[in-house]
Chains A and B, each alone.
Chain A
Amino acid sequence: MVSQLRIALAGNANVGKSVIFNQLTGLNQTTGNWPGKTVEKAEGTLYFKGYTIRVVDLPGTYSLSAFSIEEIVARDYIAIEKPDVVINVIDASALERNLYLTQQLLELEAPLVVSLNQVDLAAKKGLKIDAEKLSALLSVPVVPTVAVAGSGISELLSAAVSVAFDEKKVQVRGVKFGEEIERKVELVEKFVAAEIPDLAAVYPVRWVAIKLLEKDQDLTSKLSSYKHGKKVLDFAYDLAADLEKLHGEPSPIVIASERYSIASKWAKETTTVETPPKASLEHRLDAVTTHKVLGYPILAGMVISIFALIFIGGNYLSDALNYLFANLAAYVDVALSPFLPSFAVDLLNKGIVSGVVAGVTIVLPYIVPFYLILAMLEDSGYLPRAAFLMDNLMHKIGLHGKAFIPLILGYGCSVPACIGCRIMETERERFLAAFVVVLIPCAARTVVILGLVGKYVGLHAALALYAFDLILVFVLGRIAFKVLPGEPVGLIMEIPPYRKPSLKSMFVKTWARTKEFVYSAFPIIVVGSVAIETLALSGVLQHVVYAGSPLLEGWLGLRAEAGAPLIFGILRKELTLVLLSETVALDSLTAVQMIVFALVVMIYIPCLATIAACKREFGWRKALAITFIDIALAFLLGGIAFRLLQMVRL
């Protein structure tokens, strides 16, 4: 008997796969109320009744037709890696659309368990789904679940395990189409089985037949490597042409319509409308926030108040923490001086202690509130609505509304935002989106903007920097759009219903992100602090300062000491402020110096982690192109800003 099992979670975007994944594995896969969060498959392990179960969370797809990266990832995993069970998570409140994918999973003859999720949401819409009847129609187990509340999860797991050990699971369960399509499928099926038995050994024959009639590109190219591939292809395409003549539509559309008419029949047979939906709070909220006029001031107001809130809350926290840690260095000095030589105490104090203190007092106060608000935005379902409102404007820079989502995520951290650009459909759009996303000030840059300019110059100056950044993004995006060849793609995006964000989920998410931040940032902050202190003590720093002074003092009007922090800032952007605060007294800088410094930090070079993410998504050439454009731009604009600001001051 096998005690190892592999379960894959498949389903449409935004139906709660990742929530179920987290429930099953206890991990923290990103969740939220917008389609396209999971771009790569995530894996986790759980132990259940003596079994070791590997769970794989597949990206959400509407279909398995190899059109987008997500679809290929999901389809290859199911077809080639053949997991023991596929849990198809479906949204009970949008049954018809979800069953479209279920059918394709049945076509793939995957051992299936259906998780009828969000039954609570369906009930809110006045819909009641008969799970038993659905199970009978699909001839696979159907388990009602409310993943966010954790209900139905253990039943789901039991059903999955029993399907995995069901000996009869190889039964043919392909859904029968209408007669005229069915006949053609059977013809192709027989032909494939006779001519290319090798392929039939890898994939279910019926599935191959359907895909060929749909003129699936991926399968077509695979077929060309087989001996009789061309013959089979011609045979299938002839039949597909018959279908097209009969219906006056391309064959993929004919088959998609057929699947939808089956899905629609299933949905009607299992759904009872209990109460007519009445205008709920969510509905009214939806109407106001996506209103064609009111929607925009609400969006703007929300963004401004979020930054104001983070600024006020962050300042307060920062001051409070500063007060707490004010005397720490002195204590360390007193405690250690009798035992260690003075340079070691200095190194320890100015390096490690002040590095950690600066990290805690400068970085955390702004980042934690920001993560909390971002979690709320993600969970509520506002992001896709903002994307809807911004569609028109995003078209001006050659993108569509969906790109607004990674843009907003970019205010959190450029790395996930860069990867999040995968929700864009084409390579060109992904690159264009990533190019503007890395220019968005992430939380680390927000630390510098709010912690330096906001705190010492004023909130208005900080907000002006943000506004300037948006204009810059727009202008550069427009230029890139004109320069890069290719056609823009239109917006097609699902808008999920609003959901009340759960406090628990928000805190869990904030905690996970903060933890990750602390683990990755603090070692670098401490090492960076020690390094710069060592440089200072050994006298090397003076040489660096001297070498950088023409650029920094002459062109940017900064203090030459800003050079080392800017170099170390390549590691992490907040490090620039932490290190600057260790080399010069922040309040001794002039307002112009602070603004120019923040501006340069905001634009120059995405940090190492971002460069790595860009490299992974687009390759070295494009990643380095982004990097060098940003460095050049930062110093160019910094110098111009210095001169303009000085003129204004005069």
Chain B
Amino acid sequence: MEFRHRRRRKQRSFCAERPSSLAELQEGETGVVVSASGGLGLVRRLAEMGLTPGVEVKLLRKCPLRGPVEIEVRGVCLALGCGVASKVLVKPAKEEQDG
């Protein structure tokens, strides 16, 4: 796992502690998956692709106009539609280090 964006995370550390969705991450930002909401089918597929609670994800890019996002998880690049990404809740990754 990469820890390249630690500095930016610190700047954000006072920001919302509540989990936000994967779709709300900025490009290059990292987060830790808290949970995924939605039907069991979707949650299960996400888990099978490696998006399980506690895993670190990095948002690589985002298409405009609520387009899909590309993330890196467990060394693999995944494309997620915006609807899917907004169902994955993440928290800032820093808590693992500081807390």
Contact = CB atoms under 8 A, between A and B. Distances in A.
B48 interface: yes
Contacts of B55: 260
Contacts of B35: 248-249
A119 interface: no
Interface string B39-67: 01111111111101111000001111111
B29 interface: no
A100 B55 CA distance: 14
A481 B35 CA distance: 31
Interface string A244-284: 00001110110011001000100000000000000000000
Interface residues of A, number: 40
Interface of A: 62-63, 65, 67, 93-97, 100, 248-250, 252-253, 256-257, 260, 264, 290-293, 384, 387-389, 391-392, 395, 400-401, 490-497
Most buried by A among B54, B63, B70: B63
B74 interface: yes
A102 to B, nearest CB: 13
Given A93-B75, A290-B61, A494 B49 contact: yes
Nearest to B75: A94
A62 B74 CA distance: 13
A97 B62 CA distance: 23
B75 A391 contact: no
Interface string B3-15: 0000000000000
Given A96-B75, A250-B43, A495 B70 contact: yes
Contact of B68 (A65, A67, A248, A388): A388
A450 to B, nearest CB: 32
Interface residues of B, number: 36
Contacts of A495: 70, 77-79
Contact of B49 (A97, A249, A292, A496): A97
21 contacts: A65-B44, A94-B74, A96-B75, A97-B50, A253-B47, A257-B52, A260-B50, A264-B74, A291-B61, A387-B79, A388-B63, A389-B63, A391-B81, A401-B79, A401-B81, A490-B80, A490-B81, A490-B82, A492-B78, A493-B78, A495-B79
A293 B83 CA distance: 21
A213 B66 CA distance: 37
Contacts of A384: 79
A494 B42 CA distance: 15
B41 to A, nearest CB: 7
Given A252-B40, A391-B68, A490-B42, A292 B47 contact: no
B63 A256 contact: no
A292 B64 contact: yes
Nearest to A104: B48
A67 B43 contact: no
Contact of B54 (A95, A257, A401): A257
Nearest to A63: B48
B76 interface: yes
